A and B are shown apart, each in its own frame.
Chain A
Amino acid sequence: ETGVTQSPTHLIKTRGQQVTLRCSSQSGHNTVSWYQQALGQGPQFIFQYYREEENGRGNFPPRFSGLQFPNYSSELNVNALELDDSALYLCASSLDSGRQETQYFGPGTRLLVL
């Protein structure tokens, strides 16, 4: 069974640019959540996708957007990058969207904005 994978592992961008991060969910999982983890902090919830529809959003501006595809893989897009967007971006998949479901995390994409 393949776990959650993310690409790329590292990325360097400059302020104002746009970035797309990718996530492949664990086999059989229909729910994907994205988190931002700044250095020395706990992860912060960005949004969740369930069966290709956004299913909840955290306190992030609209320039953070996402997609979930029919195979349940997902993308996180960030427009107009700011220095504070530098962080580890984590994707997590779960069997379903219920609050008791375990979320399985990928290794993350480390984004540096210069």
Chain B
Amino acid sequence: AQSVTQLGSHVSVSEGALVLLRCNYSSSVPPYLFWYVQYPNQGLQLLLKYTSAATLVKGINGFEAEFKKSETSFHLTKPSAHMSDAAEYFCAVTRTGTASKLTFGTGTRLQVTL
């Protein structure tokens, strides 16, 4: 069964610093991987997705992620953090079968300080 593990439930960075949010996946078949962001009291917004095309995926708001099969990782990065990036970030994988069920990680809360 497919699953994802997010290392670090809380990450704190200074404004302007590199953002690195970690996600490792477990899948017996080539996975489709997603990063979503959730702002307080809101639903989830797609940042980017990997669907077996380019391994480096660029998303919205300056975020990108690199699919590394050898490390079973799909870490999310942004070169320079902004205060508005403070939110909860979820990595997700779709399972095989007829339904495009998203299996989410437990989330990483990003705090951005001055």
Q: Is B25 part of the contact surface with A, judged by Cβ < 8 Å?
A: no
Q: For the complex, what is the distance from the CA of A58 to the CA of B97, rounded to whole Å?
A: 12
CB of A108 within 8 A of CB of B43, answer yes
Supposing A41-B107, A43-B90, A45-B103 touch, asked if A97 and B46 sit within 8 A by C-beta, the answer is: no
CB of A102 within 8 A of CB of B101, answer no
Supposing A42-B106, A43-B104 touch, asked if A56 and B46 sit within 8 A by C-beta, the answer is: no
CB of B101 within 8 A of CB of A33, answer yes
Instruction: Say how far B12's CB is from chain A's closest CB, in angstroms.
Output: 17
Q: Which of A6-56 contact B (CB under 8 A)?
A: 31, 33, 35, 40-45, 48, 50, 55-56
Q: Is A94 part of the contact surface with B, judged by Cβ < 8 Å?
A: yes
Q: Is B94 part of the contact surface with A, judged by Cβ < 8 Å?
A: yes
Q: For the complex, what is the distance from the CA of A94 to the CA of B45, rounded to whole Å?
A: 13
Give the total of B residues in contact with A, Cβ under 8 Å. Answer: 26
CB of A94 within 8 A of CB of B107, answer no
Q: Work out how many contacts link A and B, with CB atoms closer than 8 A.
A: 72
Instruction: Say how far A60's CB is from chain B's closest CB, in angstroms.
Output: 12
B28-64 CB contact bits vs A (8 Å, 1 = yes)? 0000101010000011111001010000000000000
CB of A48 within 8 A of CB of B101, answer yes
Residues of B within 8 A of A99 (CB): 32, 94-96, 100
Instruction: Say how far B6's CB is from chain A's closest CB, in angstroms.
Output: 8
CB of B105 within 8 A of CB of A94, answer no
Supposing A105-B43, A105-B45, A106-B43 touch, asked if A97 and B98 sit within 8 A by C-beta, the answer is: yes
CB of B104 within 8 A of CB of A33, answer no
Q: For the complex, what is the distance from the CA of A18 to the CA of B96, rounded to whole Å?
A: 32
Instruction: Say how far A36's CB is from chain B's closest CB, in angstroms.
Output: 11
Rank and list the top 3 A-B pairs by shortest CB-CB distance, nearest first.
A56-B99, A42-B104, A105-B43
Extra contacts, 7 of them, besides A33-B101, A42-B105, A48-B101 (Cβ < 8 A), are: A42-B104, A43-B104, A56-B98, A100-B49, A100-B94, A102-B49, A107-B42
